[in-house]
Structure 1
């Protein structure tokens, strides 16, 4: 068992179903006549979400079941909305900022998605971004595999590196590196998370799931920076996560009781 005062940072495959995403953006225009008006504040970005339950181990399995009443809030804000009967919600996020949103629903694990709302944010048409919630029962099983308590005694986060992904490592760097607990990675063959692994084990050449996932348990709340290492270059965060201070690095906020999701692509991703 790891020290109870620390947070939990974890990556979960079934929880991060990436079926599409979309949002609209209206950028600020030019200043008024004579140049005295200045550019108006950019309009908020409407971010459509589709929230559902995904439990392939239930009897019968509960796959893509809409979740009504999930609370979606802008990061560290009282700007909140609630999902409807179809699991849909639209949250307005401030433009041109490092921000994010949280998702909560009683009986399920909570998510934190970090975003940079620039011109590259949500460029996928009008489709909502789909987010799966795992039940507390499912997460308790995963926590047991990782030898950490559930409910989490701290925050949560997810790392996903787009394929090919064999041998990928996520390494904490910077002044908060010593506040990050042990690493774990996804063992694709068994679809379980293992503390004894030292890198991702998935890859297209073996016919396995082409998504490399890993994370850290028992991480102190705050903003942490990580570096992606392995046989790749030119890696960058997608719409999920904040840029780091060097190539192949990214930052994510960790909050008490949440899992934070981060997604990374590299020059060899396809």
Structure 2
């Protein structure tokens, strides 16, 4: 489990905390805080209209991290409808586990009881709030993909293992942007290497640099190497505090045909410990 953050039970604190942990302002969303005593074990987010369908994944995270309770916070311009969704969660799959349910429209915070809004008070954030939206926070991993020049990666797979690892280490640790051809070569080198292992050293030394280079590889790599790039990008995004980007990369990875070991590796990780990827960074 990731190191847990202290939290109070005050509504303004609980509503202020998810945007800080997620790294963006939730819109028409439910934030789910795993609570152990007065600490937050994990923070996740789901679209308001998908909250009931995605709840079993959160239940898995609770079980795997020994988290007994939840705080639910809905962010919506239609707080009455949001309160109904929170009520469905509280009396359904999370029955008995919801310590507090809150809803806000950005101006007022309400407690939710029995599906109704109660005890409204003006919302004045108690913590500094991020200004960016989710779209802005995942822009790096949703930009348009363009393949590099044909043939630019032909030699990579033929490289001996030692040379290919040196190529990976050099490119992943580079702080300056890669050229399109070099970014495509990074993707090819990842695809020819042991799954997930290649990026770990670079992530450990400079996670942000590894994330930046893998974003470039995602943009310029050939389609055949995209799976390897996305799998490693998930890890680098999480390690560098870009949880929303990690989830977006994972979503793109899961949309690809499940033909390689990388999908199984990440699927196994997220099934056994979903909070390992969402953690207390971003969602």
Please classify the TM superposition score into its range, dividing by the shorter chain length: under 0.3
Structure with more of its chain in strand, by fraction? 1
Higher relative contact order (CA 8 A, sep 6+): 1
TM-score, scaled relative to structure 1: 0.26
Structure with more of its chain in helix, by fraction? 2
Larger Rg: 2
TM-score, scaled relative to structure 2: 0.25
